[in-house]
Amino acid sequence: MKISSEQLIIDLQNTVCNAIHTAENLQKKSENELNFRTSENSWSVLECLEHLNRYGNFYIPEITRQISASKTTAQPVFRSGILGNYFAESMLPKEKLNTMKTLKSMNPVHSQLNKNTVGEFIRQQHQLLELLEKAKSIDLNKTKTGISISKWIKLKLGDTFRFVINHNLRHLLQAEKVLKNI
């Protein structure tokens, strides 16, 4: 994938703003609705958001560190890496959401959660917006981040943003589907 760096950031900012709007609407629901699950091992709305918060707890500090350490300058074009593009694209929601295994530490099933989970998700989305703004001044190709599943694999910052934000989108759609079953 090849795209203007500026356009990539604008697109990602728009997706994050939509995620904030969705989460703000979720805050209007009761905790009973937000804790409803369609089956014993499916996730509730709050569990979907808690899952995202756990990933945010890894990626937001990692992205922050790499942006702060970057000595690069912005480049006009972002070229996705093979692995980064694969990860980012695999997170995009499909017509029928394919289930994926998650790491045990990232699986919130049967956690005791309340609306603070939604507030934390919104806070993390605002942090992502700030990081996207800072990323406008550095090279999204040369600045690399670690990933949660392996300290040996590094992705281009642009791909990391795409992965994290697509992952958020995926689970927000999952959460909205749960609410339709109430």
pLDDT digits (tens, 9 = 90+) for 62-83: 999 999 999 999 999 999 999 9
pTM: 0.95
Residues 125, 103: Cα–Cα separation, whole Å: 22
User: pLDDT tens, 115-159?
Assistant: 999 999 999 999 999 999 999 999 999 999 999 988 899 999 999
90, 166, 62, 110: CA torsion to nearest 10 = -90
